[in-house]
Structure 1
């Protein structure tokens, strides 16, 4: 039996958010490269994007040893792990899921093999096994929702029904759920229920971006980061002063 994928959302307008962090992060699985960005329309992922914390040299971790090439690694090795995750928009928290463990990191191709073989089993286990620890915010004056996933176990700082403001710390970056190394997964969707949600296009405001292979950053007033681009949010005043 072929599983029917959710149809594309009827919400076609682009939802503009703030990047949910500070500092440098690497964009992966960007809808600027392809749609569906994660290869599936399931769980509202059609326009989702991942961000991995990096240093000035685009490195995701400061340590490389035999484990990097042959085994798993502690999540604490990675720059993203434990970094604050911020609310990307004003709204109300409508769903919170915690209690999923933070897995070891997997940069080794050998370590990735058993991980890939376990993909279908995680899907069968349900949303929590895929999204890990997550929270969902109903955006103010809108009929859409933003989800932040793969959060660090026990780090969620907000509760269902709580109002949040853009830039407010809501959790820490983790490595829970279907994740090979610590990162934050961001998506906008038309339902609070991840099992039936359909993805909605999104963009981010006021950030600088260094595309893969480029030496210089460019300032973007609004847009979606390119695949493998390094991004950093900018204060509104800085973006206005620098121009686009």
Structure 2
């Protein structure tokens, strides 16, 4: 993504990063877009009591670019971008997480793109999740280069606010895959670390 982002649920500070080994998420990263003041959205009493429209967040609709070259393996679109949940609404939302997990990975990932990275023998897959409904610009079998527009940031699937969930795994099926750690120049972002340029 372009612009400022904050790293959340990063394996730089804990493994498993998302509190579970399920669906190969142990090494996943969440990148939450923020405004030039480092806020994901204005916080007020109303935001702490009721869900917010995803359009209120600076990341909603932000371009999601391919971070690496590869071949699009799979695409899933059509899931609604639901309201964001902070404060008390996030507690109510958390109580429904087991239902989403029981429905499977697609229910958690929401709209997503799965890219096979590197030469065919490498078999490393990158999942980019929680994309905006109707925004995916690529199709299975398409070759993508670094920087190619894939979709736009949304709030689909198991997401409390618009953000991009990324995970690497050794198989296309997250149910049987093993997570693969990110190897980023300069190391992994710390939780709460600010990335990008305004």
**Pairwise CA distance, 1:119:** 0.8
CA distances 1:24-51 after superposition (whole Å, capped 9, x unpaired) = 1000001010111111111111110100
Paired with 1:182 and 1:81, the residues of 2 have a C-alpha distance of 6
**Pairwise CA distance, 1:194:** 1.7
Name the residue aligned to 1:181: 161
Structure 1: gaps of 5 or more residues? 1-20, 206-221, 234-244
For the residue of structure 1 that corresponds to 2:184, the secondary structure is strand
Paired with 2:6 and 2:32, the residues of 1 have a C-alpha distance of 5
Q: How many residues get paired?
A: 196
Name the residue aligned to 1:92: 71
Q: Tell me which structure has the larger Cα radius of gyration.
A: 1
Name the residue aligned to 1:226: 190
The within-5 A match list for 1:141-156 is 141=119, 142-156=122-136
**Pairwise CA distance, 1:202:** 0.6
Paired with 2:123 and 2:86, the residues of 1 have a C-alpha distance of 38
TM-score, length of structure 2 as denominator length: 0.95
Contact kept in structure 2, 1:123 and 1:130, CA below 8 Å: yes
Higher normalized contact order (CA 8 Å, seq sep 6+, divided by chain length): 2
2:95 counterpart of 1:131: no
2:7 counterpart of 1:34: no
Paired with 1:54 and 1:32, the residues of 2 have a C-alpha distance of 20
2:54 counterpart of 1:75: yes
CA distances 1:47-103 after superposition (whole Å, capped 9, x unpaired) = 101001112221001x34442121000000001100000111100000111111111
TM-score, length of structure 1 as denominator length: 0.77
- Where does structure 1 differ by over 3 angstroms across 4 or more consecutive aligned residues? 63-66
For the residue of structure 1 that corresponds to 2:196, the secondary structure is strand
RMSD, aligned α-carbons: 1.4
**Pairwise CA distance, 1:127:** 1.6
